[in-house]
Amino acid sequence: MVMSSGPAAPHPTTIQPLTARSVVLSTLLGYHPPALPVSALVRVGALFGIADRTIRTAVSRMVSNGDLDVSDGVYSLTQRLVDRQARQDESCSPTTRPWDGTWEIAIVTAPPRPLADRTALRKSMGQLRFAELREGVWTRPANLVREHDDVVIDQCTVFRGHYDDAPALVDALWDLSAWAVEARRLAAALPAISGLQSAFMVSAEIIRHLLLDPCLPPVLLPDDWPGDDLRAHYARYSVTFAAQLRAYSQAS
């Protein structure tokens, strides 16, 4: 079996400065239900030095682009982004099942595709926590409970198989050491957070990092794997952060 050139690059430890669009999107993704008046979004933007007019322009563009709906002055995520919110929430507590030793294998069997389709497939595979074994071949242990989306179904044939040396395959597909180092850094950062702006940034980092967790069966993970620990820390912290953000954004 041909392996990829090596494990995926480690996740960067910093986030680029937030744009007006990313502030609006991140704020709504943190709300249940994901709907707020523009005045609340403007207040959150002010935390990052983003002008009122810039936030309002971003909101208008997001409505035009199909990211947001608006009704009676309240802006809410469209269904596509509500689905993204559900995936984000799921990342904190993925649904698993006992592993029977099999692997999910997805092989691209569609005819030659345009770049947009190939990009969409790569994005879907990342969301489904697959790793690329080689070009057009994706795999992971079959221990997650979730449905494959239409992008995968339309472009790939998916089946199950076995691999004799599962630990070696894991080492080839994921850089677990790099993920663990970053997870421990983020968990340690939570108690030291001071201020809503820092909380916003660290929360965004944690969510991004949890989405990169391959969620492997325990038998394939190091004994000191910090995935569950980071999830538990963030689940407790996110309740406080959400309350603080809601109070700030809705203050008169």
How far apart are the C-alpha atoms of 208 and 127, rounded to whole Å? 11
Q: What is the pTM of this model?
A: 0.80
| Residue 91 pLDDT greater than 70, yes or no | no
CATH class of 20-85: mainly alpha
Strand, helix or coil for residue 137 = strand
Q: Which two tokens stand for residue 250?
A: 């809705």
Span 44-57, average pLDDT: 92
Please answer whether residues 30 and 245 qualify as being in contact, where contact means their C-beta atoms are separated by less than 8 angstroms.
Answer: yes
Of the options 1.10.238.10, 1.10.3720.10, 3.30.43.10, 1.20.58.1460, the CATH number for the domain spanning 175-249:
1.20.58.1460
Q: Which two tokens stand for residue 108?
A: 């691209």
Closest by CA to 131, choosing from 221, 13, 4, is: 4
Closest by CA to 26, choosing from 81, 70, 91, 72, is: 81
Which tens digit of pLDDT belongs to each residue from 52-89? 999 999 999 999 999 999 998 899 999 888 887 777 77
Span 201-225, average pLDDT: 92
Q: State the average pLDDT for the chain.
A: 87
